Structures are given as structure tokens and as C-alpha cells.
């Protein structure tokens, strides 16, 4: 709050106003006139005080300097600016306040010539349009100064409108709030994880039946190449080489065991126990293994493709009868010709069931290689390969990859 100064000279008044304005670069002469030397209209006084963004006590101080003294027993109340006001149409920001105590007669020591301003007492108000006019009269320099003062006010020790105590309170509140929210979130996640089985999915009703995938797979299912031009099929062979790395004979012999063909490899015990996996060696793919022919038949125009069935936990394929693969041309009466399957056109039962990647660490999905040796050349040939057996669906028109795979082959 402003302290009551001792004003005896005009220079003292000016110095007082400069201290009051601080770095706002107020119009000192205008403020000085406001205090009564040039008898400025009191409407202008109120407008100027309202635009200065001073505290309530400082506004009272300015108005008290402007108005003539009255005895404490006077029934007429002096002018002041209330702490609470609203702007609604012709909103009143100046109100009669009879509860504010009057300054003592000692104010005569520094009022000086202010008594020359003989102003009538009446109720003054300022509407919203006048407030906008006050704001619009500010220059860009003044607006920048206002913004700087908002960021840091050295006179009040405020950063962005808050002092140290206010910032401490608000930061402590938000710290407690976010600690509470974080704790609630962590508790909910922890409770959710307790209900999840890491070994078996909770919902598996829409997993059956299995789908098919094909290799090589670059982009899409259109395979066009020319056997005499290596650049047209090298990406296909590279993709097959990378895919078959996990099926190397040495790797399979080290990690997996030999199983009995023709029967399910069921491993009872706790679901947390690590399960063993059956060997599926790359050499079992014979002409399509890439061992003897690194081009996988693409160089001769007799390409190899590999089918893999999607893994499903606990799925016993075929219900005791091995699932088998057939390939044909779905449209027209054309014959696909000879197709060789390696190691056979059946998925052996010994590779089922699958127990999940956590316990069935070294599991290798069984593969079927298809060697197309009589495909027509220089034309697009659409081929459909599908799996057949019990509990298998391969004729669903809404899902072309459910139990089947359709691709186009063009050999130049």
C-alpha cells in the first residue's frame, strides 16, 4: 500500500506520481492535473485511475488526494473505487462507499493547492464502451510494458500475477493432485494386470479357424518376373532366405527334438513350464529349400512358394486327421498343371498343439513348399491355395485369407 507522502512543492507531487507509476511510464502531467492543478473533470480522473490497474488501497489514496477533506462526522461519503465491480452494459465501477474511514486532518499538510478543485459530489459511472476506449488509446510500447509487468512485477514481487506464497500454494495443490491421479492410474493398471493370464489369452472365441500366409511376401500378392533377368526375382529369393534362417538344420538339431509323426505332441504339466518343440529342418523342403538351388526355381521359371498356417494356442489341427493343402485356378476351366509339395501337402499332427511364445520358445511352425512347374507364361494366372480338414473354413467370401491364399503369378 502507498504511504502518505509529505507534499509541499509541485516537484514533490510529481516525484510522488512518478514513484506511483513506476516503470509504466504514466503521463505524469496528466496525473498531476488529475490531482487538481488544472481542474480536470472528475470523469477523466475515474477513467485514468481505472486504467492504471492499481490496488484498491492505492486507488483510494489517489482519490483521497484529489477530493477535499470532510470531517469524520459528515454524512456525505467520499468518492472511492470499490474492490468488487462488474461491467454489465452501463456497469458501475465507482460506488459510494461509506464504510471507508476518512483521513485525518493531517492530510492538510500535503493537500496544498488541491483544494482549488471545487468539485461537486455525485455518483459517477463508466460503461463498457468507455473502458474499451481507454484500452484502445494504449500504444504498442505501453502494451509491451504491460506484458512485461505481467511477467514480472518488481514492485509487488509477482511473477505472472502471483507472489511467492501464491505460487507455492498453487504448485503444492497441483503436485498433490497429480500425485493422487498418478497413484490412482497405477493402481488401476496393477489391478488389471492381476486379472490377465500371460500364458493364455482371456478371449479366444474369434481365433478359430486359422489363416494362411505365403512367402515370399514383399508387397501385395502379385508376383511378376522374368527368369532370365535376375533383378526381377532377386528380391523374392532374398525374402525366402531370410525367412528360412530359423529353419537351418543345425539350429533345429540344437534347439528342438525329433517327434513321432502322425500324433499330437501334447505336453501336460503346469502352464508355466517350458515346452519342447519338434524339429522342422530346412532340408525337408527339398527342391524348394534353397540349398541346392539358391534361386528357388525362379531362374528357370518354375518358382517355389511356401505356405505357413497361423499359430493358434491349444489348436489341435484336423481333430486327429492331418490338414492338407490343394491349389487350383479359381476361375475358368484351365488346369494349373503339376504342383509339387514338400515335404508333403499335409501339416503333420506332431507340430500341434502350440503353447504360446512364452513357454514354447523354440517352436517352429510347420511349412509346406509348393513348386509350380507348369504355369502358363506371359499371362496373369490367378492361383488359389487352401487348407482342408475338420474345423477348417476356407470358403468365406468376407475374408479371402481365412483358410486360403489367392495370388497372381506372371512369368515372362
pTM beyond 0.75? no
Dihedral angle sign, alpha carbons of residues 352, 353, 358, 360: negative
**pLDDT of 101:** 40
- Judge contact between 406 and 382, C-beta under 8 A: yes
Residues 16-32, mean pLDDT to the nearest whole number: 52
Residues 100-127, mean pLDDT to the nearest whole number: 40
Residue ranges of domains in the chain, CATH in brackets: 10-69+76-142 (no CATH), 212-411 (2.60.40.1660)
Q: Say how far apart CA 367 and CA 348 lie, in whole Å.
A: 10
Total count of residues recorded for the chain: 412
**pLDDT of 247:** 95
Identify which of 114, 122, 83 has the alpha carbon closest to the alpha carbon of residue 99: 83
Mean of per-residue pLDDT scores for the chain: 75
C-alpha cell at 17: 506520481
**pLDDT of 209:** 77
Listed ranges 198-207, 280-289, 310-319; the one with the highest mean pLDDT: 280-289
- Judge contact between 304 and 371, C-beta under 8 A: yes
Residues 308-320, mean pLDDT to the nearest whole number: 86
Residues 101-116, mean pLDDT to the nearest whole number: 39
Of the CA atoms within 13 Å of residue 39, those in its CB half-sphere come to 6
Identify which of 71, 77, 61 has the alpha carbon closest to the alpha carbon of residue 111: 61
Residues 293-310, mean pLDDT to the nearest whole number: 93
pLDDT digits (tens, 9 = 90+) for 41-83: 445 555 555 555 555 555 555 555 544 444 444 443 333 333 3
Distances (CA, A) of 299 to 214, 219, 236, 396: 20, 21, 11, 35
Identify which of 379, 372, 374 has the alpha carbon closest to the alpha carbon of residue 412: 379
Q: How confident is the model at residue 279 (pLDDT cuts 50, 70, 90)?
A: very high
Decide which of 16 and 103 is more confident.
16
pLDDT digits (tens, 9 = 90+) for 133-164: 555 677 888 888 888 888 988 888 888 888 99
User: For 90-122, b where at least 16 C-beta lie within 10 A, e where not — what string?
Assistant: eebbbbeeeeeeebeeebeebbbebeebeeeee
Is the pLDDT assigned to residue 107 strictly greater than 80? no
**pLDDT of 344:** 93
pLDDT digits (tens, 9 = 90+) for 169-227: 999 999 999 999 999 999 999 999 888 888 877 776 666 678 889 999 988 899 999 98
Is the pLDDT assigned to residue 238 strictly greater than 80? yes
**pLDDT of 70:** 42
Residues 25-35, mean pLDDT to the nearest whole number: 51
Lowest mean pLDDT among 69-83, 351-365, 374-388: 69-83
Percent of the chain past pLDDT 90, that is, above it, reads: 38
Of the CA atoms within 13 Å of residue 177, those in its CB half-sphere come to 6
Is the pLDDT assigned to residue 410 strictly greater than 70? yes
Q: Say how far apart CA 214 and CA 169 lie, in whole Å.
A: 63
pLDDT digits (tens, 9 = 90+) for 85-103: 333 333 333 333 333 344 3
Q: How confident is the model at residue 271 (pLDDT cuts 50, 70, 90)?
A: confident
Is the pLDDT assigned to residue 302 strictly greater than 60? yes
- Judge contact between 386 and 403, C-beta under 8 A: yes
**pLDDT of 89:** 30
Q: How confident is the model at residue 284 (pLDDT cuts 50, 70, 90)?
A: very high
**pLDDT of 81:** 35
Q: Say how far apart CA 279 and CA 350 lie, in whole Å.
A: 10
**pLDDT of 12:** 56
Identify which of 329, 18, 308, 10 has the alpha carbon closest to the alpha carbon of residue 2: 18
Phi (first) and psi of residue 125, to 5 degrees: -145, 160
Pairing verdict, β 304-309 and 212-215 = antiparallel
Phi (first) and psi of residue 159, to 5 degrees: -110, 115
Amino acid at each position: 500500500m502507498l504511504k502518505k507522502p509529505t507534499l509541499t512543492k509541485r516537484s514533490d507531487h510529481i516525484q510522488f506520481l512518478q514513484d506511483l507509476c513506476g516503470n509504466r511510464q504514466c503521463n505524469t502531467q496528466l496525473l498531476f492535473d488529475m490531482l487538481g492543478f488544472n481542474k480536470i473533470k472528475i470523469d477523466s480522473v475515474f477513467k485514468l485511475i481505472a486504467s492504471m490497474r492499481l490496488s484498491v488501497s492505492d486507488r483510494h489514496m489517489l482519490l483521497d488526494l484529489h477530493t477535499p477533506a470532510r470531517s469524520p462526522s459528515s454524512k456525505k461519503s467520499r468518492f472511492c473505487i470499490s474492490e468488487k465491480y462488474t461491467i454489465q452494459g452501463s456497469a458501475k465501477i465507482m460506488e459510494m462507499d461509506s464504510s471507508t474511514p476518512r483521513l485525518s486532518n493531517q492530510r492538510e499538510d500535503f493537500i496544498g493547492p488541491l483544494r482549488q478543485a471545487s468539485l461537486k459530489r455525485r455518483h459517477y459511472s463508466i460503461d463498457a464502451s468507455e473502458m474499451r476506449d481507454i484500452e484502445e488509446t494504449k500504444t504498442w510500447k505501453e502494451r509491451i510494458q504491460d506484458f512485461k509487468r505481467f511477467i514480472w512485477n518488481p514492485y509487488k514481487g509477482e511473477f505472472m500475477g502471483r507472489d511467492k506464497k501464491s505460487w507455492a500454494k498453487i504448485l503444492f495443490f497441483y503436485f498433490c493432485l497429480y500425485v493422487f491421479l498418478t497413484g490412482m492410474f497405477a493402481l488401476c493398471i496393477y489391478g488389471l494386470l492381476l486379472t490377465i493370464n500371460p500364458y493364455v489369452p482371456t478371449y479366444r472365441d474369434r481365433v478359430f479357424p486359422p489363416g494362411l500366409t505365403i512367402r515370399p511376401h514383399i508387397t501385395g500378392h502379385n508376383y511378376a518376373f522374368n527368369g532370365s533377368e535376375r533383378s526381377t526375382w532377386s528380391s523374392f529369393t532374398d525374402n525366402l532366405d531370410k525367412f528360412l534362417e530359423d529353419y537351418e538344420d543345425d539350429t533345429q538339431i540344437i534347439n528342438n527334438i525329433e517327434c513321432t509323426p502322425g500324433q499330437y505332441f501334447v505336453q501336460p504339466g503346469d502352464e508355466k513350464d517350458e515346452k519342447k518343440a519338434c524339429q522342422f529342418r530346412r532340408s525337408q523342403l527339398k527342391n524348394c529349400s534353397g540349398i541346392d538351388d539358391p534361386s528357388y526355381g525362379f531362374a528357370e521359371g518354375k518358382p517355389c512358394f511356401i505356405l505357413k498356417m497361423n499359430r493358434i494356442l491349444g489348436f489341435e489341427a484336423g481333430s486327429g486327421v492331418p490338414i492338407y493343402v490343394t491349389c487350383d485356378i479359381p476361375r475358368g476351366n484351365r488346369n494349373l498343371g503339376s504342383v509339387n509339395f514338400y515335404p508333403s501337402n499335409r501339416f503333420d499332427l506332431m507340430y500341434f498343439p502350440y503353447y504360446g511364445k512364452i513357454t514354447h520358445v523354440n517352436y517352429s511352425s510347420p511349412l509346406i513348399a509348393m513348386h509350380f512347374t507348369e504355369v502358363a507364361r506371359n499371362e496373369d494366372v490367378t492361383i488359389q491355395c487352401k487348407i482342408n480338414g475338420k474345423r477348417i473354413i476356407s470358403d468365406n467370401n468376407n475374408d479371402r485369407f481365412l483358410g486360403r491364399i489367392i495370388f497372381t503369378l506372371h512369368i515372362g
